[in-house]
Structure 1
C-alpha cells in the first residue's frame, strides 16, 4: 500500500518552519531538523538526538525519510571503491570513489539505467527505469564522502556526473542536487569542482547557459564525425556535431565555465590520423580546456577493443604536435567493473 506521507527532504526550510509553527513548535526546531537532513546527513528521525522523542515520533508519523543505503561495496587493487546503492523502491545504482594522491573524486549516477543506448557502455544496455530524485543524488555523494573520510582520511575534492544515466535528461534533479551539494548547509563544495558529463543534448546544454550554472561541462564525444558518432551513439542522430558545437559555444559565452571533451579510443575505429585531424578540427571550434583520451574498458555486450599502447601513444603525440591539450586518462577500478563505461549493477 502506497504511503501518503511526504518525503521530508522535499520541504524547503521555510516550508518546514511553516509546518512546525502549525503544530505549535518553535521555529528554531525546523532549522535543527533541516541541519540533520542535509548538513549532518541523518538517515532516520531517531538519529536527530537534540530533538525531543515526542517530536521525532510526530515526524515519523507524518513524513518519510527514504535514505539511500549502501547495498554492496567492492575494493579495487588500485584503491578505487565501487558501491551499489539501494533506493527506497529497491532499484539499484552504482557510484565510485576514485582516490589519487591529490584528489578524492566521486563518480555518481543520475538515473536508474539509461535510455541512450551508447554501444560501448554497459549502462546503455540497461533500460531506463526512472530518474533519481535530487535527495538521492545528494545521498550518493554524502555516502561516498563518508567512504573517502573512512578509507583515506580526506573529504571529497571533486564530483563527476559520469555514472549511470544521462544527467541532462534528469535536468531539474541534477541541478537541485548540485545546489544542495554546494550549499553551506549541505556539503559546501565549490561548483568549480563539479563536472557534469553529457552524451550531447544540445537543447539542455543551452539551458545550462541560460540558467548560468557554475559547474564544469564535459561532452562525451568519442567520434569526431557524424557518421561514426551515430554508429556508436544513437543520440547523435538528433543532436549533430554542428548543433553540439553551437550549444557548447552558447554555454561558454553565457557562463565562462570550463568545457572538456571525452574521447574513448577504439581500435581501428576512431584512432587513425584522419580521426585525430577531425578531433583537432572540433577542438578548435570550441573554447575547450582539455581533451580526455580514455582507455576503452571491455564490457560483456560489445566487441570493441582498445588500441595497443604504441598506437595510443602516437595518437597522443599527434594531438600534442597540433597544440591540443590532451591527457590520457588511465582506467581505475577495471578489476571490479568500476571503470568508465562498466557500471551495470553486476555487484
Structure 2
C-alpha cells in the first residue's frame, strides 16, 4: 500500500479504532491505548507507543499515517512573547504565539495557512491562502505552545485565542473539531470558557455557532464603526455589513449567552476621531457585548496607515468610558519579532530565527 493511500489515524474516532483492532483480531482495549497516545500523550510516531508490541506498531504504520506539526523555528521577544513557526507534514509554514502575563499564559493560534480575506492592515491578508489547517494540526499548535509555556515559564496554558493566521469561520468544521478535542477530558481538558474565536465577520457562520450552541467566547474584529470605512480596510464588509453583523451577534447571544468582545484597532486619521468613537458607542449599545478591546496598530510594510499619538488614544478611550462603554486599551506584545496583532506572515522565511 503506497503512502498516499494511508489514512491519518487521528481522523478516526475511538469507536472506529476499536472496530479496526477487533477486525484485526486484537483486543479492544488496544484502541483506547492508541487513542491516549494520539490525544493525551501526544505521540509523534507509532514508535513512541511503547506499551504496544513492535509487531502491532508495525501494523499501524503499514495501515495509517501519523502526520504531526513540528516547531520549525522560534523567536523570543524582549517582553517575553514567544513566536513559533510550525511546519506541516506537507511542508507548509504557519505561525503561533505564546503571550505570557502575570496571570495568564495565552496561546494565539492559526486556523489557515494564509488567508483569503485581504484585510488591509493584516500581514497575513497579503498572503495567498494555501489551505485550511486540519483539526489535528490546530490541536498540535496548542500542544506545542503549551510545551513552550511549561518549558519557559513553568506554567500551563490558561487561555487560547483564535487570532492567528486565517479566518476561523472559513475553516469552521476543523476549528470546531479542534476545540472539541482541546476541551475534551480525553484531550487537553481545557474549559471552552477559556477559548475565544475571533472573526472578521462571517455573519452566516456566526449564526451557525449560535445554532450549534457553542460554549466558547466570540470576538468580532470590527476596526471601523461605519460601513464606508470598514469597506475600505476590510473587503468582507461589502457582503457582511455592520447591520447584518449586529443581527448575527444578537442571534448568537440569544442562542448561547456567551461573552462577545469587539476588537478595534486605532488608525491615525482613519477611525480615531470623536465621531468614530461615537459611532462605536452606538454599535456597542446594540449588542450585549462585554468588552471593547482598543488595540494599538502594529505597522506592516504593505499598509500606509500609522497609529495615533498617545493623546489621541487617551481622548478616544475617555470618550468611550464617559459613555459607559467597557473598554480596555490592549498594548501590543511581541512587536520586535513581528508577533503582534496583524503581523503574522511567515516573515521568518527571510529572518534569522533560532532553530527549534
Partner of 2:145: 144
State the partner residue of 1:122. 123
State the match for 2:34 in structure 1.
33
Partner of 2:4: 3
- Distance, in Å, in 2 between the alignment partners of 1:310 and 1:24 is 72
Render the CA deviation track for 1:260-285: whole Å, top value 9, x for unaligned.
Answer: 00000000100000000000000000
Note the C-alpha offset of 1:2.
5.6
Question: What are the ranges of 5 or more consecutive residues in structure 2 without an aligned counterpart?
Answer: 349-356
1:217 has 2:212 as partner: no
Tell me what 2:319 maps to: 318
Q: Give distance in 2, aligned partners of 1:253 and 1:246.
A: 11
Please state how far the C-alpha of 1:300 moved relative to its aligned partner.
1.1
- Deviation per CA, 1:66-104: give whole Å up to 9, x if none: 000100000000000000000011011000000000000
Mark the CA change 1:73 to 1:39 in structure 2 (over 3 Å): closer, same or farther. same
TM-score normalised per structure 2: 0.97
Give the structure 1 partner of residue 333 of structure 2.
332
The aligned runs of 1:104-183 (5 Å cut-off) are: 104-183=105-184
Q: Does 1:231 align with 2:232?
A: yes
Query: Where do 4+ consecutive residues of structure 1 move more than 2 Å?
Result: none
1:256 counterpart = 2:263: no
Does residue 16 (structure 1) correspond to residue 6 (structure 2)? The answer is: no
Q: In 1, Cα distance between the equivalents of 2:305 and 2:124?
A: 16
Once residues 59 and 299 of structure 1 are traced to their aligned partners in structure 2, the CA distance between those partners, rounded to angstroms, is 46
Q: Does 1:49 align with 2:32?
A: no
Counterpart Cα distance in 2 of 1:68 and 1:326? 37
Matches within 5 A, 1:229-308: 229-308=230-309
Q: Give the distance between the partners of 2:305 and 2:163, measured in 1 at CA.
A: 20
Deviates more, 1:43-52 or 1:219-228: 43-52
Distance in 1, matches of 2:99 and 2:5, equals 39
Q: CA RMSD in A?
A: 0.7
CA distance in 2, matches of 1:55, 1:310: 67
| 2:160 aligned counterpart, secondary structure | strand
Quote the residue 1:196 is aligned against: 197
Counterpart of 1:61 in structure 2 is 62
**TM (normalized to structure 1)?**
0.99
Q: In the alignment, what sits opposite 2:347?
A: 346
Aligned-partner SS, 1:3: helix
Displacement of 1:111 in angstroms is: 0.3
Count of residue correspondences: 347
How far apart are the structure 1 equivalents of 2:291 and 2:224? 16
CA distance in 1, matches of 2:287, 2:188: 32
**What secondary structure is seen at the aligned counterpart in 2 of 1:40?**
coil
After superposition, what is the alpha-carbon deviation per residue over 1:290-338, rounded to whole angstroms, capped at 9, x for unaligned?
A: 0000000011111110001111011101100100000000000000000
Q: Which residue number in structure 2 is paired with residue 97 of structure 1?
A: 98
Q: 1:217 is paired with a residue of what secondary structure? A: strand
Q: Distance in 2 between matches of 1:3 and 1:232?
A: 41
